[in-house]
Amino acid sequence: MTTRQPEVTVDRTVTVIRLGPGFESIEEPEIASLEQVLVGIVDDAQPPKIVVDLAHTKFFGSSFMEVLFHMWNRIKQRDGQFALSSLTEYCDEVLRITHLDRLWDIHDNPESAVDSITG
């Protein structure tokens, strides 16, 4: 089980989840415990508005994309909003290749993602 924890803040009404330097590479062995943490944050978010800041994440695979999809789906079921920010070049490319960039709002930084959600 991972001992790393994301940083969670609220900017206006948006819950911002920052995966810091400890999340440079998100590997398979930690996915289950990380998913538990992230889904718990999503489920607790009131209102259901989430930004995931991936500025430090240089690698993730399909299992983490499933975690993001699960988070998005739970938010969508609550009529909430979900966005990603600060993607590194590799992560941006992975989301473009899989066309997930068409499903999720992607922003250059968490501030612009929050601005977009709060309108």
Residue 50 tokens read as 């989430």
Dist CA 98 CA 25 (whole Å): 19
Whether 34 and 67 have beta carbons less than 8 Å apart is answered as yes
Fold of 7-118: Transcription Regulator spoIIAA (3.30.750)
Residue 100 tokens read as 């997930």
Residue 73 tokens read as 């789906």
- Apex 40 CA angle, 83 and 90, nearest 5: 40
111: helix, strand or coil: helix
- 35: Cα within 13 Å, side-chain hemisphere: 17
Q: Which pTM does this prediction carry?
A: 0.94
Whether 103 and 76 have beta carbons less than 8 Å apart is answered as no
pLDDT tens for each residue of 15-49: 999 999 999 999 888 999 999 999 999 999 999 99
Dist CA 97 CA 81 (whole Å): 23
Whether 69 and 82 have beta carbons less than 8 Å apart is answered as no
pLDDT tens for each residue of 60-100: 999 999 999 999 999 999 999 999 999 999 999 999 999 99
